[in-house]
Structure 1
Amino acid sequence: MENKLQIFMESGLLDSYILGTTTPNENLEVESYIAEFPEVEAEFERLQNNLEILAKAHTVKAPKFILDEVIKEIAKNTEDQPVIQLSSAPTHSRTPWYSIAASIAALIFAGMSLLLYKQNISLAHENQVVVDEIFDLRSDIEDNNNKLENVMLQFMKLNNPETEKYVLRGNSRAKNLKTVAYINAVDKTSMIDVVSLPKLPENQTYQIWAELQDRMVNLGILDESERNKLKTIPYMENALGLSITIEPKSGSPTDNAHTDNSVAEITLKND
């Protein structure tokens, strides 16, 4: 039974199930394992949480101008066509019926020509709009594919068995501060998820540091605008720990961190 469970956990079916790429038969197999084995259920919950982190990190709001453009287009297509008023013929003299017929035919021909001309102009404009929209859609599809590829790569990094998760919580100076660091010593990659950062005065910033044997190395600035976004930070070989400090904005990123400024810190595993 344990061998069967181990084979399933190493098959990658659970990852594919989370991403929605499994077949109906594979779905039934995964769901049966989730129902039968608590270990599989716990791993399923962990994968779902990681996928939720990635979803929040890549949330994109729809542009505000889309609704206005749709309303304008509907209004334009529902406008009444202008009506041409024709003056009545004089009544004091009789006009031969064939002259009247010829005049009516000429007016109809002129009206049809004008209508066809306007329709051709409108169709040409609509065709150009369609062509532009196709190019825009292709560009959007390419951007979305690139974003999806990045999400898949980050998801794989988060669920790599070699990736260690570290939670940094603020001390009394920043009680609501919380960030999560993901470090893989094999791939030599580091990412950080800013969960919450207490507001600071305009002249101060949060900075994250790596503690080495003989010095502190600045890994970048943390900002509230990066909340719930996975941010890549430099990987430091043989780092003993990570710390977050409050520093003046005017300070140089290469300055050493001051211990008194620390608001959160953790010790890293060095196996």
Structure 2
Amino acid sequence: MDIKEYISSGIIEAYVMGLASEEEIRILDCVQKNNPEVKQAILDAQNTLEDFASQQAIAPPPALKSAIWAKISEESQPENLVEEVPVKPMEAPLYPSSIEPNKVPLKWFAIAASILLVASVALNLYLNSNQNNFKNELASLKAAQKENALAYQNLKSKWDLVTNPTVKAIPLLGVEKHPDMKAMVYFEQNSKEVYLALDNLPLAPKDQQYQLWAIVDGKPVSLGMFDQDAEAAVQKMISVTSAQAFAITLEKRGGSPTPTMENMYVMGKV
């Protein structure tokens, strides 16, 4: 196993973020026990994720403190003075007083309850905002990790083909109607396997697909359809023993028994 290639494959990031499968987790746990380099890479990834979470933390809104003090000031303002009307003193109260001078008035309980309510609402808003932002960032990280892993896999597939001495790379260049188009055919000369990559051909309509043709003894032979809905950028086509050239046409979904010449996009000689 190439440790550096294993570390750079994205499996460690997936492990730290909880995206790895159970089998990948078991393998990685086993590898890190016997390889300090892998164990250190896991620690580095964990530290990076923690640093990212700290940097993205949202401070409580500055207006929260002002809102609470404004509420206190509002509640503690003296009530509007009203004109005093003289009344005759009563010899005795109609009912005995049950409020002692040293007891806190009920009004202050209302003020405290209002403050707690404002603080609670503001804190909930802050926590919800912080949690939602973290979820969004985590979702973005997961999407980016998946995209990077896919890009790496596609690049590796092309690299494996290009560096294989038994594979012949055949560029297919745009015809007169599509001069800027390009595709690549990789022909494995021993096994006769054929691989196709659409370098810059536009996305085909939903009811159509690109079809690869091999020119064998002057006649077109279908090598199958390229599935643009698949994630693989390099796809294995039908094998062919020998060919003088390759071409790609745009056909109805599922393919055509004969190529539609006016819909030919690229062609290349072997």
What TM-score does the superposition give when structure 1 sets the normalisation length?
0.48
Structure number with greater Rg is 2
What TM-score does the superposition give when structure 2 sets the normalisation length?
0.48
